[in-house]
Amino acid sequence: MSRGIHLALHPYGVGGPGQHGLWKDPRVAKNASIDIGYYIRQAQAAEHALFDALFIVDSQFINATYPAHYLNRLEPLTLLSAVATHTRHIGLVGTASSTYNSPFNLARRFASLDLISGGRAGWNVVTSFDTGTSRNFGLDEHLDYATRYGRALEFVQVARGLWDSYEDDAFPADVERGVFLDPRRLHALDHVGEHFRVAGPLNVSRSPQGQPVIFQAGVSAEGRDLAARVAEGVYAPGGTLEQAREYYADVKRRAAAHGRDPEHLKVFLHGGPVVAATDARARRREREIFEEDNDFDRNLALLGRSFGAYDFGVHDLDAPFPDVAHLAEKGGRTGAAQIIRRAREQELTLRQVVESVAAFRESPFVGSPTTVADTIEEWFAAGTLDGINLAFRTDDDLELFVDGVVPLLRERGLFRTAYEADTLRGHLGLPVPANRHTRVRERAGG
């Protein structure tokens, strides 16, 4: 298999944005989002199907209007450390904010997960667009967009420097000579930058994959550029085939412009497949799911997230969309700007904006197993994705995909028939990064 599709699993728990009614499904345990057994079972099912990774999202701010899964869920690195002890191969990707963490502490936590899992850790770098998060960390105001992205770039650079504190041969542990550590292989960082001052070294050694894999979800120009500069996996926004192809080509082109091999940046589309015996039944079920989750009040509250958790409920629903452009800069700027532009161009009321944002849109990955496999193959061949970040509402839905679609992808040579590596980098075909200090020493002939 010269180039295969990568598959990751993104558990829904009791339901995030767009799955407001999921917690009501009798097949979904009401404590799923805080039940480590649920995540272990999800990870083991995905590993049995030879998936590349389990992906855990996160945020650090809520109010009572937030989706059910957001209200009560486990912290990602704690969760993934537990899952690591019940799995052997599947990658473990956790979300953590570069805005509301310190580099040393977070680098240590991800390095620990990487060692616990034997080299399967990945970090999804986010800058946090929930503006209310600032008040949970002693700040009156959320950082502006440019500052958040500048801080994120420096944060990743510092973390990678800390992960290279020890060279791979730093611990001879020679009892006869009484030498546990070779101090020549331990290196302080002594970083002084615009956002951070970090001395180092980190007190955690490198894992079999060298360093955790960096993921990022870049939508704006700044986000795409950050992904192109530091990410090894990118969570893409999706959309139509043409939009996905444009995004894919753009981030690969940006990576090349930064001197990187574009093949060392893997683009994952979000996918929520609906698989049934026939295309008609699958499309009918897709519409039923939409109706189950289509709650206007929830959609109104969800709209506020892109504008810093703004309460649109204070406005007349049938008046023109309010002037909230000033809130977008510190929230989800790209998505918010698109909403504002459409509202102005089409002269929409607030009610119409909510309805248009939450309107039913057919997913490309819906149908019989053959139809879904055909679509995945088509999108893969069209240069829209390297992988899919899959989300399933229930265990039954995951099983339908694994038993129906995955075998067809294998028959077509698009997906693995066995794990060929034990690390997340190995699954993704990414190189193990050489320790920077070892590289310098070897170049000097030392």
Which pLDDT belongs to residue 129? Answer: 75
Task: Answer yes or no: is pLDDT of 439 > 90.
Answer: yes
CATH architecture of structural domain 6-279+364-442: Alpha-Beta Barrel (3.20)
Which pLDDT belongs to residue 329? Answer: 64
Q: What is the mean pLDDT of residues 151-165?
A: 98
Task: Answer yes or no: is pLDDT of 345 > 70.
Answer: yes
Task: Answer yes or no: is pLDDT of 228 > 80.
Answer: yes
Q: What is the mean pLDDT of residues 80-101?
A: 97
Q: What is the mean pLDDT of residues 246-269?
A: 97
Task: Answer yes or no: is pLDDT of 1 > 60.
Answer: no
> Alpha carbon 425 to chain centroid distance?
16
pLDDT 10s digits, 40-74: 999 999 999 999 999 999 999 998 888 999 999 99
Give the residue with greater pLDDT, 322 vs 334: 322
Q: What is the number of other CB atoms lying within 10 angstroms of the CB of residue 65? A: 17
Q: What is the number of other CB atoms lying within 10 angstroms of the CB of residue 42? A: 21
Task: Answer yes or no: is pLDDT of 92 > 80.
Answer: yes
| pLDDT, mean over the chain | 94
pLDDT 10s digits, 374-433: 999 999 999 999 999 999 999 999 999 999 999 999 999 999 999 999 999 999 999 999
Which pLDDT belongs to residue 305? Answer: 80
Q: Which of 6, 418, 73 is nearest to 215 (CA)?
A: 6
Binding residue positions for FMN: 58, 95, 149, 220
Task: Answer yes or no: is pLDDT of 446 > 80.
Answer: no
H or E element, residue 281: helix 279-293
Task: Answer yes or no: is pLDDT of 373 > 80.
Answer: yes
Q: What is the residue extent of each domain of the chain?
A: 6-279+364-442, 295-357
Which pLDDT belongs to residue 331? Answer: 59
- Distances in Å between the alpha carbon of 368 and those of 151, 365, 378, 399, 408? 45, 9, 15, 14, 11
Percentage of the chain modeled with pLDDT above 70: 98
CA dihedral (261, 58, 159, 116) in degrees, to 10, reads -100
Q: What is the mean pLDDT of residues 81-88?
A: 98
Binding residue positions: 58, 95, 149, 220
Give the residue with greater pLDDT, 131 vs 126: 126
Phi first, then psi: give them for residue 223, nearest 5 degrees.
-65, -45
